Structure 1
Amino acid sequence: MFKILLVCALVGLAAAYPGQLDDVNAEVISRSEDIRPDGFNTHLEISNGIKEDRAGDEHGNIRGSFSFDTPEDEPVEISYIADENGYQPTGAVLPTPPPIPVEIQRALEWIAAHPYNGEH
């Protein structure tokens, strides 16, 4: 029974994403890796449109970008920094937080201007 369910799930997945199966036949167009004591640079380009570039330093900081096309043929580009502040991606497709309401912004500014000194 489990095998039948698994086969049905795989068939359903293949039917839902027909374009994704073409990625199985994708080939590497170009690839380079330069690893040094003071950092690294890598580049990867695949025939299905996926591209990635990364550069890192001896401190573990990494700057990079990657791009691909969605199944609807919309381009997606993401740039990122990964350092002591964590992973910080940027790109037009990423959601952005809503603006802070004026009242909350005023409260935050007041709190910053009047630090708590331990007295009541």
Structure 2
Amino acid sequence: MNMFVIALAVLVSVVAAQQYVPIIAYNNEHNFDGSYRYNYETGNGIIANEQGYLKNAGYPDIEAQVAQGSYSYTGPDGVVYTVTYIADENGFRAEGAHLPTPPPIPEAIARSLAFNAAQGKRK
């Protein structure tokens, strides 16, 4: 019987220690044309929104689903981080002040790329 009481006490303490994060705002809209929009906000400061639509509908060779939106959250360091993004026929692209960015292309390589592109146009 004592083992049961100990096990029950451990279970109750584990359940009580879990955090509950309420959803304080939520909207979700889907339209017949394939477009949509949603957003939500949680009690711990997470905010997200996205909207999407079908681009060039009815043209199978160039049709593309487009989704764009953003999300924000507070990091362990207390800073609010925000990411904005778009996903379409050109892939997924995200931006945020905290995200790494590639270094600039060196000038000599940029000139070489421009030269190569110009050569391709002459054919």
By how many angstroms is 1:96 displaced?
A: 0.7
29, 34, 55: which one aligns with 2:29: 34
Q: Where does the alignment leave 5 or more consecutive residues of structure 2 unmatched?
A: 1-16, 56-64
Q: Which residue of 1 aligns with 2:39?
A: 43
Identity %: 34
Contact in 2 for aligned 1:32/1:42 (Cα 8 Å): yes
Q: Which residue of 2 aligns with 1:89?
A: 94
Corresponding letter in the other structure for 2:106: P
Seen in structure 2, the aligned counterparts of structure 1 residues 102 and 58 have a Cα distance that, compared at 3 Å, is closer
**Secondary structure at the counterpart of residue 120 of structure 2:** coil
The ranges of structure 1 where at least 4 consecutive aligned residues each deviate by more than 2 angstroms after the TM superposition are none
Contact in 2 for aligned 1:37/1:58 (Cα 8 Å): no
TM-score, normalized by length of structure 1? 0.74
Question: Within 2, Cα distance between the matches of 1:53 and 1:82?
Answer: 14
CA RMSD after TM alignment: 1.9
TM-score, normalized by length of structure 2? 0.72
Q: Where does the alignment leave 5 or more consecutive residues of structure 1 unmatched?
A: 1-20
Contact in 2 for aligned 1:30/1:45 (Cα 8 Å): yes
